């Protein structure tokens, strides 16, 4: 078997648990919302890809986007799955969103998955997926 076919296995370490803690602190600050405190946990420029493929480079940009989409929104974090890697740690934070749409209608149980790449104690990448678009379609009577 060639050496190219052998995957390197990286065991969990203090770095992987620290990465999960960094992600949680970032998310808590983001929910306030306090994008400047959230920015303490990122490397600039952050590569942040939001739902619909929207790209941002700083938490203040995603906070501004959320202010248009929701009257307010919070995360009910269920768990973080941590994947150690070579020189980086991947953290998946999974849960549901709850809050209010701009018209004041409340919602809950809106599934989300946030994927983070943490290097050197800072978040360098974040990818966001959730069911908001599906819920907006349903609210507008579109069964697609």
Each residue of 19-60: pLDDT tens digit? 999 999 999 999 999 999 999 999 998 999 999 899 999 999
d(CA 101, CA 54): 19
Torsion sign (Cα): 117, 32, 60, 66: positive
pLDDT attached to residue 49: 97
d(CA 38, CA 123): 10
Q: Is the pLDDT of residue 93 over 90?
A: yes
Burial class (CB in 10 A: 0-12, 13-18, 19+), 20: buried
In this structure, the strands spanning 55-56 and 72-84 are unpaired
pLDDT attached to residue 16: 83
Torsion angle in degrees (nearest 10) through CA of 103, 107, 112, 118: 70
Q: Report the share of the chain in percent with pLDDT over 70.
A: 97
> Global pTM?
0.88
Q: Binning pLDDT at 50, 70 and 90, where does residue 3 land?
A: low
What would the pLDDT profile of 107-136 be if each residue is shown by its tens digit?
Answer: 999 999 999 999 999 999 999 999 998 988
pLDDT attached to residue 27: 98
């Amino acid at each position: 078997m060639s050496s190219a076919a052998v995957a390197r296995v990286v065991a969990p370490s203090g770095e992987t648990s620290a990465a999960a803690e960094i992600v949680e602190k970032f998310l808590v600050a983001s929910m306030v919302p306090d994008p400047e405190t959230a920015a303490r946990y990122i490397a600039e420029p952050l590569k942040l890809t939001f739902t619909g493929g929207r790209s941002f480079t700083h938490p203040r940009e995603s906070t501004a986007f959320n202010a248009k989409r929701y009257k307010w929104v919070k995360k009910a974090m269920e768990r973080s799955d941590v994947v150690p890697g070579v020189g980086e740690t991947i953290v998946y934070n999974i849960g549901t969103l709850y809050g209010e749409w701009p018209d004041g209608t409340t919602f809950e149980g809106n599934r989300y998955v946030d994927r983070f790449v943490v290097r050197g104690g800072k978040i360098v990448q974040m990818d966001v997926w959730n069911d908001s678009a599906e819920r907006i379609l349903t609210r507008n009577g579109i069964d697609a």
